[in-house]
Amino acid sequence: MGHHKASVIERIAEKIGLIPDLHQEEEAPLNRLTEPGDLTKFPPPEQWDDWVEYEATAWPKKEKKHYSIVPTTCFNCESACGLTAYIDKEKGEIRKLEGNPYHPGSRGRNCAKGPATINQITDPDRILYPMKRTGARGEGKWERVTWDAALDDIAARIRKAIQEKRNNEVVYHVGRPGHEGYMDRILKSWGVDGHNSHTNICSSGARFGYNIWYGYDRPSPDHSEAKFILLISAHLESGHYFNPHAQRIIEGKMKGAKLATMDPRLSNTASMSDYWLPTYPGSEAAVLLAMAKVILDEGLYNRPFLENWTNWQEFLENMHPDTPVTFDNYILKMREAYAEFTPEYAAKESGANPEMIVEVARQIGAAGERFATHNWRSAASGNLGGWAVSRCLHFLVVLMGAVGAKGGTSPNSWNKFKPTFFDNPPGPKFWNELHFPDEYPLAFFEMSFLLPHFLKEKRGRMEVYFTRVFNPVWTYPDGFSWIEALSDESMVGLHCALTPTWNETAFFADYVLPMGHSAERHDINSYATHSGTWIAFRQSVLREFARKQGKEFTFTYEVNPGEVWEEDEFWIELSWRIDPDGELGIRKHFISPYRPGEKINIDEYYQFIFEHTKGLPEAAAKEGLTALEYMRKYGAYEVEKHGYKKHEKLLSDADLKDSTVDPKSQIIRKDGKDIGVMIQGVAHVGFPTPSRKNEFYSQTMVDWKWPEYAIPAYVKSHIHPESLQKEKGEYVLVPTFRLPTLIHSRSGNAKWLTEISNRNPIWMHPQIANRFGFKTGDLVKVNTDIGYFIDKVWVTEGMAPDVVACSHHLGRWRRPQDKVGNRWATNTVQISNDGKGGWKMSTLSGIRPFESTDKDSKRIFWSDGGVHQNITHAVHPDPISGMHCWHQRVRIEVPQPNDKYGDIFVDTKRSFENYREWLNMTRPAPGPDGLRRPLWFNRPLRPQTELYYLDKKEE
Ligand code: SF4
């Protein structure tokens, strides 16, 4: 420590305790965790079983603490960054969480939400035991039950539904996903088409736009090797691959890459960019097509890629049958198709600077293949036709031949590990029309946000409904319609909320079943964070600690706090009880691959996957470990360092044996399946599309009744200025961004995060504010198509003129009768219902200090928890992708004197009418051959192929 010699006065002051004694006899100092200038130094793994640090709270005493360090992964966004849990060996409790340097995606770094996991674990309001409701649903009365009792009750109801062929009445609805196929396996083993997800309020718009091009639904940009990076919207703050992408974007920039961001809001990402294009929401595709026009007109495109890997012949033959099929004519016709997208037109649509549009296009042209792009949520998830944004973005990637290139943009699946399971049940023989209704044959994921309306229309019912780390009442648009549906036992027989925290949806459950946070559960993760592929192991760290200590236990809830469990073991136990004698054919899918006839346990489940992970058993053996031991120790494994241009993989002689080549399309077929394509006379694997190429021209769009979108196009959004009456105070509300320190509805239990961010005012440009005379802090009434909310104004030039915005993830609530929970973030509200569809919410009290086992709860200094805006949003299902188009047409108004901050009103009758209006925009199935959905489109929990045909009925 190197203290100076103490003066006489200091010695006296130390002696009588006036100041801490800093000059006592010293032991040799401990290693510092982080040396100055070396941010990558972590405790060496050989010391992880007994890592010693000084106890910070004991300062100035040097009290040594012994920790066992166990890796796991973060659960607070989709990146699944590596974490290491520091377990106090004396108390057997998790003390803190830091980064895991052995995780190839995050490389030891985390955002604020990773370390804040400790808040979630120690939150004094967390649910520790299974609860069952005792009063009416939603009344707020609960009793503690055992896991056994809950499992038996739920299993009996599922068993009866399956025995009575009501398989479509068993539904699992996932909010925070994960598990890499775990749930698909469970639901297939039950024979139910019961997977529902939150994807259509999240990313399916963008996914559709990518998929229609190349059969992959997400991009994997190689930011650190790029020369030019183009991000659409609040990409990083919107959550996906936040920290792993952020660090690689900065690496790319440090090597000279330029960054451009399109976003109407000056986000943190936009503020770090070389070019900020504050585009009017929904105009992004017009700007991208203007850039494409520059690239085409100035000959900046990659001719070999376009010639070999796009289906230009099909385009000319179908759209220009009188034009000779030559590559030059392809370019010519593309230039004609996009002639109207001049920079001036794009500038008129978007408000962006036309010179900047041209400059960015030329920079892209100069970057060549090293052009990395990403679009997540905002633009593609905000607009009618939002899918066209990612389609037009990928068009630029195609023009540059950057698809799969080093420094370019690969398909997500190329950088995502696929696990091998010990058992693979067949797809269900059911098609659940509550999830994939005929009106939305191209919907990329389940039409989950329309579920309350489908239930009200009596399209089906649910006997057993699981919500898994999922809070639709709060997160989804139109939450009062969810409350109506969840409160009605004729629509939802039994609602089981699998959740780590109390939330607005769990209040309307029959069972609330406590599930662990990241350090308390098992899972495997793999995400396209960069050009490599990795697998990470989320594990219950206290279980691993208990195992190392030689403690006996069977289930994870025996070592977690209270009886907090994890889904993995829960599903195995539930499945076993649904089929007690094996007659339903379910049990056989849960037999251990290592102990014949015995029920599989969770260690064996992961053991099998890790033993079948390429290279992992060998890497483990080098350290004298098994594959499972390796993952328990390091928490992650790099399967592939880099993977580029995988479409160019050549087919082997064995692959080609007994195959045929279509003379016209050059597609290679074998055993009734397309396996590749001939390019310049050589057999390549290609892309998983009908042409095995990138499809500039989409026959699928034509076949499914949308010929106007046969090629990349600009779709005018539902909030295009032409659709708004500015003179009446109508503007577009952008509700799709979040503050980077928050997690959908799961930061309410993280005190550090809510301390940083706890309000969501309306971002408003001075032009709008001046029109209404608003100043920062004034109340504003925001009228949506189905109701209104009262919020406060934040006047800022960080917002494009003519656009207002409000961050989601704030405005959490509980009613007086509800169990207390998330008190760091929840307002107490009064909700009333007039019985005719009119719902009112008003705030009884804001956030207040409270007494608890955590001393910080008395120190809460903030009182404002924000306003729940989503509940006032009407549903807007895109007729093609099925994505909820989040942006809202709103009428801005000065509130009346009796309007209070946080007041909310919604008329669910108007919600229903609004749903029907958007439903009328669809072009329902069947498509060609009586299909419900294109066969080449993936879908979650893919049923048997015969179910894709409308005339085929279920078993
Ligand atoms: S980026 Fe996501 S996964 Fe990584 S630490 Fe932050 S919240 Fe956790």
**Mapped to the 3 state alphabet, what secondary structure does 814-877 carry?**
ECCCCCCCCCCCCEEEEEEECCCCEEEEEEEECCCCCCCCCHHHHHCCCCCCCCCCHHHCCCCE
> What angle separates helix 387-399 from helix 284-297, to the nearest 10 degrees?
20
Compute, in angstroms, the gap from residue 813 CA to the centroid of ligand 1: 25
Token code pair at residue 764: 């408003």
Question: What was the pLDDT predicted at 233?
Answer: 72
HEC per residue, 185-213: HHHHHHCCCCEEECHHHCCHHHHHHHHHH
**Residues with Cβ within 8 Å of residue 2, at least 6 apart in sequence:** none
For tokens 């804001």, what's the residue? 846
Give the three-class secondary structure for 537: strand
Distance CA 582, CA 426 (A): 17
884: phi then psi, degrees, rounded to nearest 5: -70, 125
DSSP string, 23-87: SS--PPPPPPSSBTTBTT----GGGTTSEEEE-GGGTTS--EEEEEEEEEE--SSTT--EEEEEE
- The closest-lying atom of ligand 1 relative to the alpha carbon of residue 99 is 5
Nearest to residue 252, comparing CAs of 230, 220, 228?
A: 228
Peptide bond into 221 cis (omega under 30): no
Handedness of CA 803, 804, 810, 815 (dihedral sign): negative
Which residue is it, tokens 């708004």? 724
* Closest C-alpha to ligand 1, atom 6: 111
Which of 81, 107, 117, 518 to probe ligand 1 with, by most ligand atoms within 8 A of CB? 81
Residues with Cβ within 6 A of ligand 1?
A: 74, 76-77, 79-81, 106, 110-111, 113-114, 242-243
- Rounded to the nearest angstrom, the distance between the alpha carbon of 868 and the centre of ligand 1 is 24
Most informative mutation of 96, 100, 110, 376 for ligand 1 (most atoms within 8 A of CB): 110
Report which ligand 1 atom has the smallest distance to the Cα of 243.
Answer: 1
Summarised one tens digit per residue, pLDDT across range 25-74 is 555 655 545 444 455 578 888 899 999 998 989 988 989 999 999 999 99
Task: Supply the pLDDT for residue 3.
Answer: 47
| Buried residues in 879-890 as b, exposed as e (16+ CB within 10 A) | bbbbbbbbbbbb
- Ligand 1 pocket test: which of 73, 79, 83 has the largest number of ligand atoms within 8 Å of its C-beta? 79
Ligand 1 geometric centre to CA of 114 (Å) = 5
Give the atom of ligand 1 at the shortest distance from the alpha carbon of 106.
4
Query: What's residue 37's pLDDT?
Result: 47
The tokens describing 749, both together, are: 């239990």
Residue nearest to atom 4 of ligand 1 (CA): 81
Catalogue the long-range contacts made by 451-457 (C-beta closer than 8 Å, 24 or more residues apart): 451/196, 451/482, 451/485, 452/478, 452/481, 452/482, 452/484, 452/485, 453/481, 453/875, 453/911, 453/912, 453/915, 455/485, 455/488, 455/491, 455/492, 456/481, 456/484, 456/485, 456/491, 456/912
What is the helix (H) or strand (E) element at residue 764, kind and residue range? strand 762-764
Ligand 1 centre to CA of 112 (Å) is 8
Q: Which atom of ligand 1 is nearest to the CA of 80?
A: 3
The predicted structure's pLDDT at residue 376:
80
Residue 788's SS3 state is strand
Q: Which single residue is written with the structure tokens 């007494």?
A: 851
Q: Spell out the alpha helix ranges (H) of 132-236.
A: 147-163, 182-190, 204-214
Q: What spacing in Å lies between the alpha carbon of 454 and ligand 1's midpoint?
A: 35
Pocket test residue of 72, 73, 74, 100 for ligand 1, highest count of atoms within 8 A of CB: 74
Contact 99, 108 (CB under 8 A): yes
Could you tell me which residues are beta bridge partners of residue 494? 464
Q: Is 357 exposed, middle or buried (0-12, 13-18, 19+ CB in 10 A)?
A: buried
Measured from the Cα of 111, ligand 1's closest atom is 6
98, 106, 111: which to mutate for ligand 1, most atoms within 8 A of CB? 111
d(CA 691, CA 28): 69
Cβ atoms of 471 and 744 within 8 Å: the answer is yes
In the reported structure, the alpha carbon of residue 235 is separated from the centroid of ligand 1 by a whole-number distance in angstroms of 14
Contact 933, 925 (CB under 8 A): yes
Q: Is the peptide bond before 926 cis (omega within 30 degrees of 0)?
A: yes
Q: What angle do CA 892, 476, 118 make, to 5 degrees?
A: 110
- Expressed in angstroms and rounded, the spacing between residue 242 Cα and the centre of ligand 1 is 7
- Count, in order, helices (H) and strands (E) of the chain: 28, 34
Q: Which ligand 1 atom minimizes the distance to the CA of 115?
A: 5
Alpha carbon 860 to chain centroid distance? 30
Question: What is the average pLDDT value for the chain, to the nearest integer?
Answer: 94
Pocket test for ligand 1, best of 84, 243, 249, 525 (most atoms within 8 A of CB): 243
Atom of ligand 1 nearest to the CA of 77: 2
CA of 635 to the centre of ligand 1 (A): 15
CA 561 – CA 564 distance, rounded (Å): 6
SS3 of residue 715 by DSSP = coil
What pTM value is reported for the model? 0.95
Distance, CA of 288 to CA of 410 (rounded, Å): 19
Ligand 1 atom, smallest distance to 83 CA: 5
Q: Is the dihedral of CA 772, 777, 780, 782 positive or negative?
A: positive
Ligand 1 center to 735 CA (angstroms): 22
Cα of 76 vs centre of ligand 1, distance in Å, is 6
d(CA 498, CA 466) in angstroms, rounded, equals 7
Name the helix (H) or strand (E) containing 410: strand 409-411
Ligand 1 centre to CA of 1 (Å) is 34
CB atoms under 10 Å from CB of 622, counted, come to 8
Name the token pair of 659. 């195959």
Distance from Cα 709 to the centre of ligand 1, integer Å: 37
Tokens (6 digits) for 126: 């967390």
The token duo for 139 is 């009344």
In what helix (H) or strand (E) does residue 464 lie, and over which residues does it extend? strand 462-468
Ligand 1, atom nearest to 110 Cα = 5
d(CA 594, CA 949): 40
How distant, in Å, are the alpha carbons of 230, 318, 344, 588, 601 from that of 355? 16, 35, 9, 65, 62
> Any idea which residue has 């989804």 for tokens?
476
Give whole-number Cα distances, 801 to 194, 355, 768, 773, in Å. Answer: 44, 19, 7, 15
Give the residue ranges of the chain where pLDDT is below 50: 1-3, 32, 34-37
Nearest CA to ligand 1 atom 2: 77
Q: What pLDDT is attached to residue 954?
A: 57
Is the four-CA dihedral 361, 366, 368, 370 of positive or negative sign?
negative
Q: Is 253 helix (H, G, I), strand (E, B) or coil?
A: helix
C-alpha neighbours within 13 Å on the C-beta side of residue 422: 23
- 317 — phi, psi (to 5°)? -60, -35
Tokens 């033993």 locate to: 611
Q: How many CB atoms lie within 10 A of CB 445?
A: 27
* Distant-in-sequence, close-in-space partners of 833: CB < 8 Å, separation ≥ 6: 839, 840
> What angle do the packed helices 284-297 and 354-367 form, to 10 degrees?
60
For residue 25, the model assigns a pLDDT of 55
Atom of ligand 1 nearest to the CA of 241: 1
- CA 468 to ligand 1 center in whole angstroms: 20
Select from 486, 446, 484, 481 the least CA-distant residue to 466: 486
How far, in Å, is the centroid of ligand 1 from the Cα of 563?
26
Task: Select from 742, 755, 885, 751 the least CA-distant residue to 809.
Answer: 742
**Which residue's CA is minimally distant from atom 1 of ligand 1?**
243
- Ligand 1 atom closest to Cα of 518? 8
Only one residue has tokens 């890790």, namely 610
The answer to whether the Cα torsion of 940, 946, 950, 955 is positive or negative is negative
3-state secondary structure of 468: strand
> 538: CA distance to ligand 1 center in Å?
13
- Ligand 1 midpoint to CA 661 (Å): 47
* Gap from CA of 79 to ligand 1 centroid (Å): 6
Please state the atom number of ligand 1 nearest to the C-alpha of residue 114: 5
Sign of CA dihedral 6, 9, 11, 14: negative
Which residues pair with residue 275 across a beta bridge? 260
Residue 718: other Cβ atoms inside 10 A: 22
CA-76 nearest atom, ligand 1: 7
